[in-house]
Amino acid sequence: MRIAVIPGDGIGVDTTVEAVKAIRAVGDVFGRSFDLEMLPWGADYFLKTGITMPSDGYAMLRDQFDAVFIGALGDPRVPDNRHARDILLGTRFELDLYVNYRPVKLLDQRLCPLKERTTQDVNFVVFRENTEGLYVSIGGRFKAGTEDEVAIQEEVNTYKGVHRIIRHAFEFASTHGRRSICMTDKSNAMAQGHALWQRVFKEVALQYPGIEARHLYIDALALCLVQNPAQFDVIVTNNLFGDIITDLGAALQGGLGMAASGNLHPGKTSMFEPVHGSAPPLAGKNVANPMGAILSAALMLDYLGLAPEAAAVDAAVQAAVMAGHGTRDIGGSLGTAEAGDRIAALIHR
Ligand code: IPM
Ligand code: MN
């Protein structure tokens, strides 16, 4: 298995070290070796070379690796964060990773900010469309910097794009014992683009009669997620709404440090990253929570067909959380490296 590892910027570097530790530990336990190739792309590399991503970078990721792991990107020394756009969004687009898979699972009741919610109440997955929507960078600024400025950012919704993510959500539900899917959009206000979501959702739902198909407008969904998260099983939505509600989801599971994600094109080289950002003020201070990164590594192992290895990593994180062996953001007293060591030591067959 060849895995490209891009630690990136800020705490992405700190948490990626721990994810790599977990991958090596699970490799030792299961007698498997992983060929991890570290790629230096990030703000430092850009500031030194002027290159965000080498011109053959995407082809290299796609053709030479089985999976890609990214820590986090973003640095105040690159004010427009163009390196982050090229490396993170570029990889999503160029590798056509149309599924952004973000499980929201509360591992311990005490991590949930909502009163009296148990681990049974917070256990859903979000499928975020990852290759179009408002992220396509179509638009422009007219008379920029003046009082007459006009700024346009177009949202692209295609039949192919909407269909493949909705289809994936239903397929996932039917193969993972999930009973209901909620599609969320803003078709009451965005009557053109989101009418397509309505149409396709109804069309695909007919093919899965065993799965309950619901719809909520995005504002109502935000309300319901806080009032009663237990009603959600699978959520499917567009790129921007998925970005926003998965931060809300991260809050429900104990914060951004706990949240994992996969950027997938089923059957092709896919990319895995914690949901957290680069958090420049925390970088290098041994305080970042590595669990989201380690859980993202578990998603990667699972995607690579190593389900027992993935389960062993998940179980180790679960055990560390239960034992209170975590960083301060989740009420523990360990540093990033110590939490990572503890989790690596808890990986068993
Ligand atoms: C995420 C992040 C990115 C996004 C940023 C860094 C561009 O917030 O992965 O959720 O908006 O997709
Ligand atoms: Mn985000």
Alpha-carbon span 312 to 219, nearest angstrom: 37
Helices and strands: H and E segment counts in the chain: 12, 12
Taking the CA of residue 239 as reference, the ligand 1 atom at the shortest distance is: 12
Q: Which residue is associated with the tokens 């509360």?
A: 106
Burial class (CB in 10 A: 0-12, 13-18, 19+), 225: buried
For 80-120, what is each residue's pLDDT tens digit? 999 999 999 999 999 999 999 999 999 999 999 999 999 99
Asked if 324 contacts 331 with a C-beta cutoff of 8 angstroms, the reply is yes
Q: How many CA atoms lie within 13 A of 261 on its CB side?
A: 32
Please report which ligand is nearest the Cα atom of 130: 1
Joined tokens for residue 43 = 């703000």
Residue 205, Cα to own-chain centre: how many angstroms? 25
Question: Which residues contact residue 326 at a Cβ distance below 8 angstroms, ignoring those fewer than 6 apart?
Answer: 289, 291, 320, 332, 334, 339
**One-letter amino acid of 116:** E
Alpha-carbon span 230 to 109, nearest angstrom: 13
Joined tokens for residue 332 = 């523990």
105 forms beta bridges with 123
Nearest CA to ligand 1 atom 4: 243
48 in active site = no
For 246-259, what is each residue's pLDDT tens digit? 999 999 999 999 99
Nearest CA to ligand 1 atom 11: 243
243 in active site = yes
SS3 123: strand
Structural domains of the chain, with CATH: 1-98+260-349 (3.40.718.10), 123-252 (3.40.718.10)
Catalytic residue among 44, 66, 247, 341: 247
In the chain, what is the straight-line distance between the N-terminal and C-terminal CA atoms, in Å? 20
Tell me how far the alpha carbon of residue 246 lies from the centroid of ligand 2, in angstroms: 7
From the list 263, 260, 281, 279, the residue with the least C-alpha distance to 271 is 263
Nearest CA to ligand 1 atom 8: 243
* Band (67; pLDDT cuts 50, 70, 90): very high
Global pTM reads 0.97
Catalytic residue among 58, 186, 217, 341: 186
Give the pLDDT score at 211.
98
* 9 ligand 1 Cβ < 6 A: no
Q: Packing angle between helix 307-322 and helix 291-303, nearest 10 degrees?
A: 160
Give the pLDDT score at 302.
98
Largest Cα–Cα separation, the chain = 64
Instruction: Pinpoint the alpha helices (H) of the chain.
Output: 11-30, 43-49, 57-64, 82-84, 90-94, 159-175, 193-205, 218-227, 239-252, 291-303, 307-322, 336-345
Nearest CA to ligand 1 atom 10: 243
Catalytic residue among 28, 35, 96, 219: 219
Q: Name the residue of 89, 92, 245 to mutate for ligand 1: max ligand atoms within 8 A of Cβ.
A: 89
Please report which ligand is nearest the Cα atom of 128: 1
Asked if 208 contacts 99 with a C-beta cutoff of 8 angstroms, the reply is no
Give the pLDDT score at 254.
98
Taking the CA of residue 85 as reference, the ligand 1 atom at the shortest distance is: 7
Taking the CA of residue 246 as reference, the ligand 1 atom at the shortest distance is: 10
* Band (143; pLDDT cuts 50, 70, 90): very high
Taking the CA of residue 74 as reference, the ligand 1 atom at the shortest distance is: 6
Taking the CA of residue 92 as reference, the ligand 1 atom at the shortest distance is: 12
Tell me how far the alpha carbon of residue 342 lies from the centroid of ligand 1, in angstroms: 29
Asked if 8 contacts 72 with a C-beta cutoff of 8 angstroms, the reply is yes
Task: Calculate mean pLDDT across residues 153-177.
Answer: 98
For 262-316, what is each residue's pLDDT tens digit? 999 999 999 999 999 999 999 999 999 999 999 999 999 999 999 999 999 999 9
For 16-55, what is each residue's pLDDT tens digit? 999 999 999 999 999 999 999 999 999 999 999 999 999 9
105 in active site = no
Q: How many CA atoms lie within 13 A of 168 on its CB side?
A: 25
Q: Name the residue of 75, 102, 239, 243 to mutate for ligand 1: max ligand atoms within 8 A of Cβ.
A: 243
Tell me how far the alpha carbon of residue 176 lies from the centroid of ligand 1, in angstroms: 26
**Within 10 Å of residue 192's Cβ, how many Cβ atoms?**
9
